[in-house]
Amino acid sequence: MCGDPRRIEAKCGWYGDDMNKSQLERTANRIRKGIVSSIHSARAGHPGGSLSAADILTALYFHEMNIDPANPQAPERDRFVLSKGHAAPALYATLAERGYFDAAELNSLRQIGSILQGHPDMKHIPGVDMSTGSLGQGISAAVGMAISAKLRGKAYRVYALLGDGELQEGQVWEASMLAAHRELDNLTVIVDNNGLQIDGDIRQVCSPYPIDQKFAAFGFHVVRINAHDFGQILDAFGEARAVKGRPTAIIARSVKGKGVSFMENQASWHGVAPNDEQYVQAMEELNRMGDA
């Protein structure tokens, strides 16, 4: 199991409590507002794949991972690698919400001199464990972190979030082969399966399906979940922690643009910012959801 038994106890308490599940939902909603505002401020960015990942990131940073925002370099901390680095606004909004840096920073996204680069930069952003952006590379770094834990008998766990389009990169499968070969049961790979990439439907562009069977064939324990159901997300993480001798792949079926009606399931919202009018509408929708 995990390194710190007290943590697990605390987590189970939170997990079993409906109130706290709704707390997670409200937190994810605030993170979605951070995503939309920061991309609107930047007038550029990737809202679709950021919004689809918001619940997974919330579950990781507010429930699953053993982390301390006051000590972001703690050697024993769990690690997270955003292999789909273009969802940086989601990671930044999550880190700000979790207290790694001031939420006011979010409005500097993509501006000259900002720590919040278009893709995650570990040198300057507190809480970012690996610089990513070029697809297919983050998972390799996550494998390296997990191997390091095994070599030195450390209890920390490593999480990597991948896009489904990203699975077209051959390096993902190089990394997966090595992860299973080295029996990295401290590694959890999550696929944000929103079904869309820049050029359209992943099935039309170059289908990565069946994703679950591919990871299973590579030697992973595979779990399929709804990426927007906290019960399922937390169960899947719990299952991954219990699996011994192999890594886990969580195939999380998600909605691209989740939470903003006109962005949902639209490939065209992969990499464009909302204009002022769209921004107002998006924030109104998210505010209503937050109050619900």
Contact footprint for other proteins (CB under 8 A): 75, 79, 81, 121-123, 129-131, 133-134, 136-149, 151-152, 170-171, 174-175, 177-178, 181-182
Q: Are the CB atoms for 190 and 248 separated by under 8 Å?
A: no
Q: Return the number of the residue (117 or 278) whose C-beta is nearest other proteins.
A: 117
H or E element at residue 158: strand 158-163
Per-residue CA distances from 72 to 18, 84, 129, 167 (Å)? 29, 21, 9, 29
H or E element at residue 122: none
Smallest distance from other proteins to CB 280, Å: 36
Smallest distance from other proteins to CB 127, Å: 13
Smallest distance from other proteins to CB 186, Å: 12
Smallest distance from other proteins to CB 177, Å: 7
CA angle in degrees (0–180, nearest 5) for 6-25-1:
25
Q: Return the number of the residue (104 or 151) whose C-beta is nearest other proteins.
A: 151
Q: Return the number of the residue (149 or 191) whose C-beta is nearest other proteins.
A: 149
Smallest distance from other proteins to CB 69, Å: 18
Q: Return the number of the residue (112 or 292) whose C-beta is nearest other proteins.
A: 112
21-43 core/surface letters (b: 16 or more CB in 10 A; e: else): bebbbebbbbbbbbbbbbbbbbe
The one-letter amino acid at 88:
A
Q: Return the number of the residue (151 or 292) whose C-beta is nearest other proteins.
A: 151
Q: Return the number of the residue (138 or 274) whose C-beta is nearest other proteins.
A: 138
Asked whether the bond before 210 is cis by omega within 30 degrees of 0, the reply is yes
Smallest distance from other proteins to CB 196, Å: 24
The one-letter amino acid at 291:
D
Q: Are the CB atoms for 130 and 138 separated by under 8 Å?
A: yes
